[in-house]
């Protein structure tokens, strides 16, 4: 007779229970009243008939408005026609709070209207589905690395040096130590971790103060970054494909209901199994040229290029060996061709673009010193990082996967703003 959650109703068939939550909807038919209660774990229909409950309880039907908080007591009945499979034969209704003029009505609202009310918008079925996919994806990501003996090395958010220029960094005063910058990546710290623990990952918020106003950009987003000692580019690609298979298949298996709510066609997601196709940057250019795109060697792919390339495959495609000039200073050069970095990008299908970026790292001290000079970076800021090459340097590799882009891809969303509880974009810092 205690309070239960809707997701537990299957264990209480025939019993009288209490449910607590908010009014999702209501309707009446003759002398019957239907109250749809949501409690965060599901939605269930409570049914009461005039004369079947006290007049006082029955009258509460009229008082209850959308999102009013209330409790229902009643007997759990299995009903295959009901959404969720159960119904409640109501014996009592108790009101916590009546909501007046809840702003998000069942009619269509503009996205900015909803985004301004994100704290309420999260109550909708669609946002529920996305958040539950996000949560399960995060758990799958952590499980994947935890189950393989990776050690979690949380990297710091506040970092001392503007490693790759300050233009896309958020800056803050840091006591008497000058400026601190919000991290763009935990990679350099993860590299230190890999030399200590063999294989590590970090997984936390990262920041880009980019003035990009696209459907793929957030200023604050989560990134998971594995880093493995004694791993080369091939090992990196193997890890990436096993990782993607694991996280996508886990979410498909465990969040099928949510993906149905989102009307996601999962055909291509089901293909996310290793081996993933591997093509070089040069082969990717060939694809573009065959499709009539003028593309010069040495340029980076734009969003449209990525879409054209990924459309040639039925699952994510791994593109490797990019021109060194467009990649970061810490990437190792291909011994076969010093113009090329041992980089790896993974492009998602269906126009979702780059979801993974990584590389084998430069493990040679002198090469790294030269690269730092060549990129006009302040060597002093990298002394600690250079220590990793001074004391027991080994081949090592890693990559980063952007969480929100991956949620967007799996859920089939048009815009990353729905992939995170409270999105931060160039023009949005609230609520």
- The footprint of its own copies on residues 177-236 (CB under 8 A) is 177, 180, 182, 189, 192-199, 204-205, 207, 209, 211, 219-220, 222, 229-230
393 binds its own copies (CB under 8 A): yes
Phi, psi of 120 (to 5 degrees): -100, -35
Question: What is the closest distance, in whole angstroms, from the C-beta atom of residue 69 to its own copies in the complex?
Answer: 4
Nearer to its own copies, 212 or 271 (CB): 212
Tell which one of 75, 123, 274, 278 touches its own copies (CB under 8 A).
123
Ranges within 309-328 binding its own copies (CB under 8 A): none
DSSP-assigned beta bridge partners for residue 22: 38, 69
100 binds its own copies (CB under 8 A): yes
Tell which one of 29, 172, 267, 336 touches its own copies (CB under 8 A).
172
Ranges within 284-303 binding its own copies (CB under 8 A): none
424 binds its own copies (CB under 8 A): yes
Question: What is the closest distance, in whole angstroms, from the C-beta atom of residue 347 to its own copies in the complex?
Answer: 26
7 binds its own copies (CB under 8 A): yes
Nearer to its own copies, 50 or 148 (CB): 148
How far is it, in rounded angstroms, from Cα 231 to Cα 351?
30
What are 204's two structure tokens? 């936390």
How many of the other CB atoms lie within 10 Å of CB of 378? 11
Closest CA to 70 of 97, 101, 43: 97
DSSP 82: S
Q: How many chain residues are in contact with its own copies, going by CB under 8 A?
A: 94
Ranges within 27-66 binding its own copies (CB under 8 A): 39-41
How far is it, in rounded angstroms, from Cα 346 to Cα 401?
9
Nearer to its own copies, 349 or 400 (CB): 400
128 binds its own copies (CB under 8 A): yes
Peptide bond into 211 cis (omega under 30): no
3-state secondary structure of 287: helix
421 binds its own copies (CB under 8 A): yes
Question: What is the closest distance, in whole angstroms, from the C-beta atom of residue 285 to its own copies in the complex?
Answer: 35
Which residues, in sequence order, are CB contacts of 227 under 8 Å at separation 6+? 187, 190, 191, 193, 194, 199, 200, 201, 396, 397, 398
Question: What is the closest distance, in whole angstroms, from the C-beta atom of residue 372 to its own copies in the complex?
Answer: 16
3-state secondary structure of 235: helix
How many of the other CB atoms lie within 10 Å of CB of 233? 21
Helices (H), 281-330: 281-290, 303-310
Question: What is the closest distance, in whole angstroms, from the C-beta atom of residue 120 to its own copies in the complex?
Answer: 6
How many of the other CB atoms lie within 10 Å of CB of 264? 19
Question: What is the closest distance, in whole angstroms, from the C-beta atom of residue 255 to its own copies in the complex?
Answer: 12
């Amino acid at each position: 007779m205690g309070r239960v959650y809707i997701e537990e109703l299957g264990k209480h068939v025939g019993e009288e229970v209490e449910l607590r939550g908010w009014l999702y909807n209501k309707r009446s038919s003759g002398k019957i009243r239907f109250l749809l209660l949501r409690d965060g774990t599901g939605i269930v229909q409570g049914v009461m008939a005039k004369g079947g409950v006290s007049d006082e309880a029955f009258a509460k039907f009229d008082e209850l408005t959308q999102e009013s908080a209330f409790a229902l007591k009643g007997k759990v009945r299995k009903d295959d026609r009901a959404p969720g499979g159960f119904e409640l034969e109501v014996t009592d209704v108790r009101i916590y709070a009546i909501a007046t003029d809840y702003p998000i009505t069942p009619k269509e609202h503009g996205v900015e209207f909803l985004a301004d009310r994100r704290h309420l918008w999260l109550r909708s079925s669609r946002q529920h589905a996305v958040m539950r996919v996000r949560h399960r994806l995060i758990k799958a990501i952590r499980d994947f690395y935890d189950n393989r003996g990776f050690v979690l090395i949380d990297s710091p958010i506040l970092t001392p040096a503007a490693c790759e220029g300050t233009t896309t960094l958020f800056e803050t005063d840091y006591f008497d130590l000058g400026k601190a910058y919000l991290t763009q990546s935990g990679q350099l710290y993860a590299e230190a971790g890999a030399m200590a623990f063999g294989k590590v990952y970090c997984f936390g918020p990262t920041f880009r103060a980019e003035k990009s106003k696209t459907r793929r950009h957030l200023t604050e987003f989560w990134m998971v970054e594995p880093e493995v000692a004694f791993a080369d580019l091939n090992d990196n690609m193997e890890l990436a494909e096993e990782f993607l298979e694991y996280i996508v298949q886990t979410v498909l298996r465990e969040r099928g209901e949510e993906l149905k709510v989102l009307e996601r066609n999962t055909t291509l997601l089901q293909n996310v199994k290793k081996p993933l196709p591997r093509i070089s940057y040069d082969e990717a250019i060939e694809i573009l040229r065959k499709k009539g795109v003028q593309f010069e060697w040495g340029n980076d792919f734009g969003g449209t290029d990525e879409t054209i390339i990924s459309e040639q495959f039925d699952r994510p495609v791994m593109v490797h060996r990019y021109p060194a000039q467009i990649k970061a200073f810490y990437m190792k050069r291909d011994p076969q061709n010093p113009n090329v970095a041992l980089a790896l990008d993974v492009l998602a299908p269906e126009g979702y673009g780059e979801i993974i970026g990584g590389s084998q790292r430069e493990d040679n001290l002198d090469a790294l010193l030269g690269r730092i000079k060549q990129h006009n970076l302040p060597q002093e800021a990298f002394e600690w990082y250079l220590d990793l090459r001074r004391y027991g340097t080994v081949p090592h590799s890693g990559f980063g996967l952007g969480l929100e882009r991956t949620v967007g891809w799996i859920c089939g969303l048009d815009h990353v703003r729905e992939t995170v509880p409270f999105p931060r974009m160039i023009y949005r810092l609230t609520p």
